[in-house]
Chain A
Amino acid sequence: MWIYEKKLQYPVKIKTKDIQMAKYLSAQYGGPDGELSAAVRYLNQRYTMPSGRTKGLLTDIGTEELAHVEIIASMIYQLLKDATIDELKKAGLASHYTQHGRAPFPQDANGVPWTSAYIQATGDPITDLHEDMAAEQKARTTYEHLITLTDDPDVIDVLKFLWAREIVHFQRFGEALVHVQDSMDTKRCF
C-alpha cells in the first residue's frame, strides 16, 4: 500500500529558465535509465526477492525512486509553466507542446514513450540485483551528461542530489548481492 507525502524529497526552485532542459530532463522522467524505470523495476522485482532484507530494500529504493520521479516532473513542470510560445519553439519543444501542452509526459528526450521493455525481472535475485546495479550506474552517467548540458545553478543543484542518490543505491544493491550470494553458499553446505 502506498502513501504520498505532500513534500518534495529535495526542493525544486527553477528561477532562470534554461527551457530546453525540459526536453533533456525527460530522459530521467520517461527514459530507459530514468527514475520511472528504476521505480517500476525495483517495485516489480521485489515480489520474487528471497529474504525480508531484499524485499525491504527493493520496496524502499523503489519507493524513493517514485519520489525522484516527482522531482523530475516538478522540474519539467516549472520549466514549461511560464515559457512563452516563442521560447518553446526556440527550445525545440513545439512538438511536445502540440501533443502535451505544458504537461510533463513519460517519454525520453526524443519523445519515445516509456515502456516496460526498459526493465527486466528474471526472478533470479543475483541476476536482478546485477541489473539494479547497472541501472544505478546508467542513471548516474545520465545525470553527469545532464549536468554538463546546463549552466543553470538551480537545475544543477537538484541533479547533483539525484546523482549522489544513485551512488548510494548502487552501494546498497551491491551489499544485498553479497548477502544473497553468502546465504546461497550457506544453503549448499550439507
Chain B
Amino acid sequence: MSDRKKLLDEIRQLEFATVDLNLYLDNFPDNKRALSDYNMFTNQLMCLKSEYEDKFGILTNFGYSESQFPWTWINEPWPWESGE
C-alpha cells in the first residue's frame, strides 16, 4: 500500500471520528470527555493533513492550506475518479 494511500486512510479515519464527535457535541456541548476526545483527534488530524498536503497537494482550498508550486489544488485524479 502506497505511503499516500496509507496517510489518506489515517486522515479519513481521524476525520470521521471528529465528525461523529462534532454531532454528539452539538447536542451535548457540556460533555468534557467528548470535547477532549474531539480536540485530541483534531490535533492529530491537523498534523497528518499538513504532512499529506506537503507531499501530495492541498486537501482544502480557499485559504485553508498553503500550496506547493505549481498550484496543487487542481491535481488529478479527483475523489470520484480515484475513489479516495
Residues of A within 8 A of B (CB): 3-14, 53, 56-57, 60-61, 64, 70, 73-74, 77-78, 168-169, 172, 175-176, 179
Most buried by B among A4, A14, A73: A4
With a CB–CB cut-off of 8 A, which chain A residues contact B60? 3-6
Given the known interface contacts A74-B79, A176-B27, the answer about A9 and B12 at a Cβ–Cβ threshold of 8 Å is: yes
With a CB–CB cut-off of 8 A, which chain B residues contact A61? 23
Task: Provide the bound-state CA to CA distance between A168 and B57, in Å.
Answer: 32
Given the known interface contacts A53-B27, A60-B22, the answer about A70 and B80 at a Cβ–Cβ threshold of 8 Å is: yes
Distance of B29 from chain A, by nearest CB (Å): 7
With a CB–CB cut-off of 8 A, which chain A residues contact B62? 3
B26 at the A interface (CB under 8 A): yes
With a CB–CB cut-off of 8 A, which chain A residues contact B26? 53, 56-57, 60, 172, 176
Distance of A28 from chain B, by nearest CB (Å): 15
Residue of A nearest to B58 (CB): A6
Task: Provide the bound-state CA to CA distance between A179 and B57, in Å.
Answer: 42
* Contact of B79 (CB < 8 Å), options: A3, A6, A169: A6
Task: Provide the bound-state CA to CA distance between A73 and B23, in Å.
Answer: 24
B59 at the A interface (CB under 8 A): yes
B8 at the A interface (CB under 8 A): yes
With a CB–CB cut-off of 8 A, which chain B residues contact A175? 27-28
**A11 with B83: CB separation less than 8 A:** yes
With a CB–CB cut-off of 8 A, which chain A residues contact B69? none
